[in-house]
């Protein structure tokens, strides 16, 4: 349920409410607005009697049942958009960010080259997998810790924060030592042990939608992270499985406005994994922006033809520069711009 405090309620009233919620077995999540204080009370479904009890408290204006199965992710509990801020820019609430880089970290030279031109063309976060969740056990699995060190070096040099995938609960701690944002891949989007662990890490989480997940299931996965006390989650639509074979997956463009109507969390689009072919990456990214996305994550490699994973969908520098100029041209039409935050 959601408890709305009266405008004149002070800090001691809020403390008292939190204690009272605790007594009834609810965990309180406070959103302090300019005018009103909302307290999301998460626990076992409140009975009408319990709701009546809280409604009768002198400092309570209203008690509302949260109708959705996801609570902390819902706009009902948190009506203002969540904004995630990084040294290079922000996402959510009108802020727009592009994360770009190779599918996998393959070498120091490859990653540093990509990081330099990503920054030059307006990318504000560096992506790159050090642990790759590959469909085949015989495919390139990533450089592991060596890859994390290369990403950290690229961050030191360019100032770009780093997003990289974590594939297993026991890797959360070591990956969090190097990464600024922990990525949960589509194949792990319902790995609940992993979601809880990244929730406890305190690091921002970039959560990909599973390829066969409904949007409600997607938000329930985000809820696992939020329920551990971590409210910094970016949702990424990266294409779902359909019968169509012309693209690798089918970008579910409607996921963007639907999610924006259900949740306060930033919603991004990954056109690379949806398309699977480089010629479709830019149009899908533009469709995502037009639909209301708060950011993009896109793959680029200095020499895509030599890439050890996802070669067909990675843009080279020239293509990435063109991609960025199309993105920059469209953003003002939706009232957004690339954050101009200064880079080191
Ligand atoms: C990736 O971003 O490198 C990746 C593996 O994506 P996904 O989990 O969406 O397939
Ligand atoms: Mn990839």
The pLDDT value recorded for residue 340 is 64
Same domain for 264 and 133: yes
Residue 277 lies in a domain: yes
Cα separation of 257 and 270, whole Å?
15
Region at 15 (left for phi over 0; alpha for psi -120 to 50; beta for the rest): alpha
pLDDT at position 33 is 76
Same domain, 102 and 228: yes
Q: Which atom of ligand 1 is nearest to the CA of 186?
A: 8
195: in domain: yes
Cα of 175 vs centre of ligand 1, distance in Å, is 16
pLDDT at residue 45, rounded to an integer? 80
Specify the ligand 1 atom closest to the Cα of 103.
3
Domain limits at 198?
Answer: 84-334
| Same domain, yes or no: 212 and 274 | yes
CB-based contact 88:159 (threshold 8 Å): yes
Nearest CA to ligand 1 atom 9: 186
Q: Global pTM?
A: 0.93
Give a yes or no: residue 189 inside a domain: yes
- The alpha-helical segments, DSSP class H, found in the chain are 11-23, 48-55, 108-120, 145-158, 172-178, 192-201, 215-226, 255-262, 271-275, 281-291, 317-330
Measure 73 CA to ligand 2 centroid, in angstroms.
27
How far apart are the two ends of the chain, measured CA to CA in Å?
A: 45
CA distances, 249 to each of 241, 272, 297 (Å): 5, 10, 16
Cβ atoms within 10 Å of 275's Cβ, excluding its own: 26
Please report whether residue 157 resides in a domain.
Answer: yes
What Rg value do the Cα atoms of the chain yield, rounded?
A: 21
pLDDT at site 290: 98
pLDDT at 64 (0 to 100) = 92
Task: Report which bound ligand comes closest to the CA of 133.
Answer: 1
Same domain membership, residue 315 and residue 207: yes
- Please tell me the distance from the alpha carbon of residue 207 to that of residue 166, in angstroms, as a whole number: 11
Same domain assignment for residues 45 and 92: no
Ligand number with the minimum distance to the CA of 183:
1
DSSP state of 312: G
Residue 289, in any domain of the structure: yes
Q: Which residue lies with its CA nearest to atom 3 of ligand 1? A: 103
Residue 199 sits in the same domain as residue 56: no
Among all bound ligands, the one having the nearest atom to the CA of 166 is 1
The answer to whether 250 touches 244, Cβ cutoff 8 Å, is yes
CATH number at residue 39: 3.30.70.1140
Residue 340 lies in a domain: no
Question: What spacing in Å lies between the alpha carbon of 247 and ligand 2's midpoint?
Answer: 14
Q: Whose CA is nearest to atom 8 of ligand 1?
A: 185
Placement of tokens 């971590």 in the chain? 230
What does the pLDDT look like over 12-46, one tens digit per residue?
A: 999 999 999 999 999 998 888 777 888 999 888 89
203 and 138 co-located in one domain: yes
Count structural domains, the chain. 2
CATH number at residue 311: 3.20.20.70
Ligand 1 first shell, C-beta below 6 A: 103, 129, 133, 185-187, 208, 238, 270, 273
Q: Looking at the structure, do residues 138 and 32 belong to the same domain, yes or no?
A: no
Q: Whose CA is nearest to atom 10 of ligand 1?
A: 186
Ligand nearest to C-alpha 134: 1
Would you write out the chain's pLDDT as a tens digit for each of its 344 residues? Answer: 999 999 989 999 999 999 999 999 999 988 887 778 889 998 888 999 999 999 999 999 999 998 899 999 999 888 899 999 999 999 999 999 999 999 999 999 999 999 999 999 999 999 999 999 999 999 999 999 999 999 999 999 999 999 999 999 999 999 999 999 999 999 999 999 999 999 999 999 999 999 999 999 999 999 999 989 899 999 999 999 999 999 999 999 999 999 999 999 999 999 999 999 999 999 999 999 999 999 999 999 999 999 999 999 999 999 999 999 999 999 999 999 886 655 54
């Amino acid at each position: 349920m959601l408890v709305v405090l009266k405008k004149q309620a002070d800090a001691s009233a809020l403390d008292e409410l939190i204690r009272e919620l605790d007594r009834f077995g609810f965990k309180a999540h406070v959103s302090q607005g300019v005018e009103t204080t909302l307290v999301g009370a998460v626990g076992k479904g409140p009975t009408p009697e319990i709701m009546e009890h809280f409604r009768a408290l002198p400092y309570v204006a209203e008690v509302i049942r949260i109708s959705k199965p996801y609570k902390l992710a819902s706009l009902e509990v948190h009506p203002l958009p969540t904004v995630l801020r990084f040294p290079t820019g922000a996402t959510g609430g009108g802020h727009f960010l592009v994360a770009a880089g190779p599918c996998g970290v393959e070498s120091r030279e490859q990653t540093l080259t990509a990081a330099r031109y990503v920054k030059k063309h307006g990318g504000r976060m560096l992506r790159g997998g050090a642990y790759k969740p590959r469909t085949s056990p015989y495919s390139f699995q990533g450089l592991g810790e060596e890859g994390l060190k290369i990403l950290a070096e690229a961050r030191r040099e360019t100032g770009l924060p780093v997003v990289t995938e974590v594939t297993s609960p026991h890797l959360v701690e070591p990956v969090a030592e190097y990464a600024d944002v922990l990525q949960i891949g589509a194949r792990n989007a319902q790995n609940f042990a992993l979601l809880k662990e990244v929730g406890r890490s305190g690091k921002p989480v970039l959560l990909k939608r599973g390829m066969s997940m409904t949007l409600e299931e997607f938000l329930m996965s985000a809820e696992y992270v939020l329920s551990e006390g971590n409210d910094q989650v970016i949702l990424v639509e990266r294409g779902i499985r359909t019968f169509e074979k012309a693209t690798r997956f089918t970008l579910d463009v409607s996921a963007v406005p639907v999610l924006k109507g259900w949740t306060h969390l930033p919603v991004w689009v990954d056109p690379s994994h949806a398309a699977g072919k480089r010629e479709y990456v830019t149009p899908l990214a533009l469709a995502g922006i037009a639909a209301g996305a708060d950011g993009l994550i896109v793959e680029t490699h200095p020499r895509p033809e030599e890439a050890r994973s996802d070669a067909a969908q990675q843009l080279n520098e020239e293509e990435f520069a063109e991609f960025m100029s199309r993105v920059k041209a469209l953003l003002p039409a939706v009232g957004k711009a690339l954050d101009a935050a200064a880079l080191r």
